[in-house]
Amino acid sequence: MALFPQRFIDDLRLQANIVQVVQEYVPLKRAGRTYKGLCPFHGEKTPSFHVDPEKGFFHCFGCGAGGDVFKFLELHEKLAFPDAVRTLAQKFGVALPELTEGDEHTRQDAALREALLKAHEIAAAYFRDQLASPAGARARQQLKDRDVLPQTIEQLGLGFAPNSRDGLKSRLLKQGFDEGSLVQSGLLVRRETGPSTGSGPSRATSRDGEVVDRFRNRLMIPICRDTGSVIAFGGRQMDADQGGPKYLNSPETPIYSKSRTLYGLNLTKQQIRKVGFAVLVEGYFDFAQLFQSQAAPAVASCGTALTPQQAQLLHRFTAKVVLSFDPDAAGQGAAARSCEMLVTEGFDVNVVALDKGADPDTFIRKTGAESYRERLRGSRPYLEYLLDRAAEGLDLGHEDNRRQFLGRMLSVAAWIPDAAARDQFADRIAHKARITEEVVRAEIRKAAASRRTSVTTRELPSFGQLKQAEKALIWGLIHDTGVAMHALGELDEADLENLAGREILEMARSLQNLQPDLLPSTLLQRLSTVNAQLVTSIAATDASPASVPTSAKALKRLRLERERAAIKREIDRLQEVGADPYGDEVNALSRRLLAVAVELDRDITGRRDE
């Protein structure tokens, strides 16, 4: 895949005024050395969107979106990176250079992704052909029995994987794909044990190391990016006793990350924008009935709790979500975790409760789209639903019950990122529990402060808990690049192991030969979207949480302390089982323990051997 020269991208970034670009879409006001305005990527009434012209990045404290000027155009205009480069060059009257092929690693990575996308495109066509063939008769009947119309089958791209070990494999090999990349695509799988236990009936003839089709005897559902490209598949069993899970999904690949994908968004995103909300359902066929009946625009989480990345993706199109629940499951399991995530991300969340045991698929097939729309119109705000649920069975006239109710609701209130919304929720709690509003508000503020509920002032959930030293180094990479890169250079690769920010710090180390003034923007460009958002969230703070050089030493010391503890545990283990047979090993470990202790002492005292 042809690429723009890195020097051209760096020069264009320096010439392009990010404030000027953003102001074409968002009214900005100066706030100290930065600018702020209402975020264009999610609905808000109080500005939380900041642009730093000096460092060349934007960041929203509400939804977490962030990046450089190219990323802003990618997100706002739904452009691929090369198109964002072209758009920016046109805005500033910069001539585009001849495209180059980039370095070897970049070429190989781009070629692999392009090959995987092409393989999935061919696989989708193969599955559609099989559904239309005589072999697909039972699959067509199953779809008919589920009231899925031919037009819907075509729109969703549904297909059928026959009970063949190498049908798709043969098709793809004939198209010129190599077996290794097809295994990497997830469309084929290498068998490592004897009999098959996967998606088709067990066969004793499976041989170790044999490469076969991953999906066999399954109704196939293509999973797409929000742009429409097929990147994965879900396969539903044709027979309950065929072995393997009821739904078999593609594994994570270079083009597919389950935590960053919402099923159906490519088909409904325009309607979501138009009506101002999305219905979140669990399964593929829940989505299919909502889409077919046009009851409401939907996306599917496919039975798992929503991730922060999925929530941020959805936030690009709406700030309101309605969840369909079985009444017995509402507020429990994955549904409850999804609600908590959405509230934390600043969404307005409503709940529509269907009849006991019903899901959107069965409800719409039984009662029709208008009945479902009527339920949607009667949906309740999730927070009010939780208030009533928490109060069920409690006599709030008794002090102990009021205390119990308040305790439950304090944890709920701590999810809410907006202070005004928290106060409104506090007033509802106070009214229901007959407690003074001021008391409840004060308690909720304490709970919110202790939980640090703002998505961008706490560590992003997908990265675990970033250590203060990591945040200081990341902050320094943007604001004090030379010092931060020198500090990173003092660290060994082992010092970065097990760190939440390891990918960011390792990427920065790989750019050590770059000019310091180019490193921040290049780093943001090279990082994944989520990692770039993490960097901008840290860089948007006014000051580093700690000294950069001291933070680097702290990370080294942490690694040495972990190593010392591990050596001590191993020595203790060997001594417990009897040191005589392991004398040499214990002596070697003791010498290493002494060396680590000396290195720790040097780090703490600053002493060095003369």
Domain covering 265-387 in this structure, CATH number: 3.40.1360.10
Helices and strands: H and E segment counts in the chain = 26, 16
CATH architecture of 466-610: Orthogonal Bundle (1.10)
Q: d(Cα 313, Cα 75) in Å, to the nearest integer?
A: 10
Write the pLDDT tens digit of every residue in 399-443: 777 777 877 787 777 777 777 777 888 888 888 777 777 877 887
Write the pLDDT tens digit of every residue in 371-393: 999 999 999 888 888 787 777 77
Q: d(Cα 284, Cα 161) in Å, to the nearest integer?
A: 17
Q: Where would I find the H helices in 136-240? A: 137-145, 150-156, 167-174, 179-185
Q: d(Cα 240, Cα 250) in Å, to the nearest integer?
A: 20
Count of beta carbons in the 10 Å neighbourhood of residue 419 = 15
CATH architecture of 6-91: Alpha-Beta Complex (3.90)
Q: d(Cα 60, Cα 66) in Å, to the nearest integer?
A: 6
Residue 28 contacts by C-beta under 8 Å, 6 or more apart in sequence?
19, 22, 35, 36, 37, 51
Segments in the chain below pLDDT 50: 1-2, 194-206, 330-331, 452-464, 604-605, 607-610
Mean of all residue pLDDT scores within the chain: 81
Query: What per-residue confidence (pLDDT) applies to 155?
Result: 97
The answer to whether the CB of 567 falls within 8 A of the CB of 593 is yes
Provide the residue type at 35 as one letter. Y
Query: What per-residue confidence (pLDDT) applies to 376?
Result: 94
Query: What per-residue confidence (pLDDT) applies to 90?
Result: 82
Q: d(Cα 477, Cα 470) in Å, to the nearest integer?
A: 11
User: What is the Cα 368 distance to its own chain's centre?
Assistant: 34
Q: d(Cα 330, Cα 323) in Å, to the nearest integer?
A: 9
Q: Which residues pair with 50 in a beta bridge?
A: 36, 59
Q: Which option is the CATH number for 111-256: 1.20.1630.10, 3.40.640.10, 3.90.980.10, 3.40.50.970? A: 3.90.980.10
Q: Going by DSSP bridges, is the β-strand pair 298-300/320-325 parallel, antiparallel, or unpaired?
A: unpaired
Q: d(Cα 328, Cα 371) in Å, to the nearest integer?
A: 20
Provide the residue type at 583 as one letter. G
Candidates 233, 228, 232; CA nearest to 160 is 233
Q: Is 226 helix (H, G, I), strand (E, B) or coil?
A: coil
The answer to whether the CB of 417 falls within 8 A of the CB of 457 is no
The answer to whether the CB of 318 falls within 8 A of the CB of 277 is yes
Query: What per-residue confidence (pLDDT) applies to 1?
Result: 39
The CA distances from residue 145 to 140, 156, 291, 362, 440, in Å, are 9, 17, 17, 12, 53
Residue ranges per domain, the chain? 6-91, 111-256, 265-387, 393-451, 466-610
Q: d(Cα 363, Cα 414) in Å, to the nearest integer?
A: 34
The answer to whether the CB of 292 falls within 8 A of the CB of 153 is no
Ramachandran sector of residue 434 (left: φ over 0; alpha: ψ -120 to 50; beta: rest)? left
Write the pLDDT tens digit of every residue in 153-167: 999 999 999 999 999
Q: Is 321 helix (H, G, I), strand (E, B) or coil?
A: strand
CA angle 460, 465, 468 (to 5 degrees): 105
Query: What per-residue confidence (pLDDT) applies to 58?
Result: 93
Query: What per-residue confidence (pLDDT) applies to 195?
Result: 45
The answer to whether the CB of 186 falls within 8 A of the CB of 154 is no
Candidates 96, 156, 152, 91; CA nearest to 127 is 156
DSSP H/E element including 381: strand 380-381
The answer to whether the CB of 260 falls within 8 A of the CB of 313 is yes
R_g of the chain computed on alpha carbons: 28
The answer to whether the CB of 228 falls within 8 A of the CB of 266 is yes
Write the pLDDT tens digit of every residue in 438-462: 877 887 777 666 553 332 323 233 3
Candidates 563, 560, 511; CA nearest to 535 is 511
Count of beta carbons in the 10 Å neighbourhood of residue 558 = 15
